[in-house]
């Protein structure tokens, strides 16, 4: 039995990461499906300046962001049923790479599965910054999906 942590941000690359993770796993394996709500979304002074009428902090604090993310994650988890023994869905907020590393430790994941890019900066880098940080700092193996 092995535990795979899949980092999901809704992007095409992270959707492919789910497919590849399932291809590389068997029925005894467990999956931790993680998404991180970026701290910048909540704390950016730029956002606050631009949208002073919207209190993003209260929106996030009320849990609606987290609940919505959880709902979407549970839908994805449902599609994995039967292919593996167990799926845990986790929604955190903060720095994506830090939370991926922390969650993989906490859940004792054997492998982190991650896309090579996400939403940002189309084609400018070979690796997204989250993937770059996770690959550099992880103490376990990282599968970067292309």
Ligand X SMILES: Nc1ncnc2c1ncn2[C@@H]1O[C@H](COP(=O)(O)OP(=O)(O)OP(=O)(O)O)[C@@H](O)[C@H]1O
Contact residues for ligand X (CB under 6 A)?
A: 7-9, 11, 13-14, 17, 34-36, 38, 96, 114-115, 117-121, 128-131
Which is closer to ligand X, CB of 22 or CB of 128?
128
User: Which parts of the chain fold into alpha helices (H)?
Assistant: 12-23, 39-43, 45-50, 56-61, 64-80, 96-106, 129-137
Which is closer to ligand X, CB of 48 or CB of 135?
135
Q: Which does 3 bind (CB under 5 to 8 A by kind): Mg ion, ligand X, none?
A: none
Q: Does residue 107 contact residue 88 with C-beta atoms inside 8 Å?
A: yes
Residue 145: name the closest of 36, 33, 11 by CA.
11
Among 25, 84, 118, 131, binds Mg ion (CB under 5 A): 118
Q: Which does 8 bind (CB under 5 to 8 A by kind): ligand X, Mg ion, none?
A: ligand X
């Amino acid at each position: 039995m092995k535990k795979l942590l899949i980092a999901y941000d809704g992007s095409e690359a992270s959707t492919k990461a789910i497919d590849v993770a399932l291809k590389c796993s068997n029925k005894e394996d467990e999956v931790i499906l993680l998404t991180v709500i970026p701290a910048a979304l909540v704390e950016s002074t730029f956002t606050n300046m631009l949208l002073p009428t919207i209190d993003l902090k209260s929106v996030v604090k009320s849990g609606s962001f987290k609940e919505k993310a959880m709902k979407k994650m549970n839908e994805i988890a449902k599609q994995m049923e039967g292919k593996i023994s167990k799926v845990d869905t986790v929604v955190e907020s903060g720095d994506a790479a830090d939370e991926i590393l922390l969650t993989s430790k906490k859940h004792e994941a054997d492998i982190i599965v991650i896309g090579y890019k996400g939403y940002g900066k189309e084609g400018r880098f070979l690796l997204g910054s989250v993937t770059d940080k996770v690959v550099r700092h992880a103490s376990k193996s990282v599968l970067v999906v292309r």
